[in-house]
Amino acid sequence: MTESGAHVGDGDVDTDVSTARAWLIAARPQTLPAAAAPVIVGTGVAYGDGVFALLPALAALLSAALIQIGTNFANDYYDGVRGADTDSREGFTRVTAGGLISPDRVKAAMWTTFAAAILVGSSLVYVGGAPILVIGLASVASGIAYTGGPYPLGYHGLGDVFVFVFFGLLAVTGTYYVQAAALVADPFPLMIPAGTVPVTAVVASLPIAALSTNILVVNNVRDREEDAQTGKHTVAVRFGYRFSRIQYVGLLGLAYLVPIWFAVVSETLWPLAPLVTVPLAYRVASTVVTETAGEKLNPALERTGQLLAAFAVLFALGVAVWPRCPRQTPTGRSSLAASHSHYPRHSGQPTVTWLNEAGF
């Protein structure tokens, strides 16, 4: 969700950009940590619970990356054709508004990327069934509806909710779910099998949801004046700088409370590993609560993405190694992984099939 590419600002667009470079700008590879972070954390929790499955984890990572890139293309295209990206834009280059790539080609790239995400996600649907089908299609639809369609979410102050839910709650718990379902469930379950979405996976999703949303908060604080002029009613436009700054700090607080909860529950210090990122969080927050200019907030935007990536890796490592026991987590390793033999994939057949051996 962070923006990357050649910084323009103040209406300047560098038109001397190669086609390959223009597509790289449109894809915004610096946003990929926002796609990888929830998969990393969901996999860390799954590993700690003893339900790690490599191939579903990799498929979830690739699908998340493709949805992120598709959403980037969608934002570039729809903001460009709606006129939301103006000459006064303080962010990074947008290829549609900047004339670097034609709108039709950006739109085609959007649909192609989302189609690839659905194709990759089909393997996850086989494992996770109807729940993953619904989540996957909703993720693609929301990626388009963020700035496109008759009621674009980002234009009506709902972008924060979209990011919190899809890049946090659903992404982390969904990653855990497909790995746990690969271990204990028949192919294509119609409902969520018991024990495949434990409370720990839901709680672990909250820091990623919070920090991912903060990327959007910085973006919206930076673009508040332009968005107000172009009719893009973000949270920052609706409620002002003060509210968005409180929102940023509050979401940071939520992110750092969760590792403490895990440490208390597990009676170990391993989940506290993300606390080493507090100095970075403090420096970034100090900028966000005092600045409005793009030249200050663009670095803060990138550092918020870096904070998300570092937090995710450290948190995943912490929850992957924390000790579990029945008293602490009834749905953890001791109950799900140790008893998965009670959930055979096919009646009368061993639980460990060729699909399990492949990671699915």
Ordered by where they begin, the domains of the chain are: 21-330 (1.10.600)
Alpha helix (H) ranges present in the chain? 19-27, 32-48, 54-82, 103-128, 130-145, 159-164, 170-184, 199-222, 224-230, 235-266, 278-288, 294-321, 354-357
Letter for the amino acid at 103? P
Query: Which of 165, 208, 183 has its CA nearest to residue 46?
Result: 183
Distance CA 148, CA 84 (A): 12
Average pLDDT over the chain, rounded to whole?
Answer: 86
Beta bridge partners of 101: none
Those residues whose C-beta lies under 8 Å from the C-beta of residue 251, and which sit 6 or more positions away, are 210, 211, 213, 214, 217
Count of all residues that appear for the chain in the document:
360
Residue 292: C-alpha distances to residues 221, 245, 286, 287, 297 (Å): 7, 11, 12, 9, 7
- pLDDT tens column, 307-341: 999 999 999 999 998 755 433 343 444 345 554 54
Distance CA 168, CA 35 (A): 9
- pLDDT tens column, 11-23: 444 556 789 999 9
- pLDDT tens column, 104-152: 999 999 999 999 999 999 999 999 999 999 999 999 999 999 999 999 9
User: Does the structure show a pLDDT above 70 at 360?
Assistant: no
User: Does the structure show a pLDDT above 90 at 223?
Assistant: yes
Distance CA 318, CA 333 (A): 15
Distance CA 57, CA 46 (A): 10
186 falls in which pLDDT band (50, 70, 90)? confident
185 falls in which pLDDT band (50, 70, 90)? confident
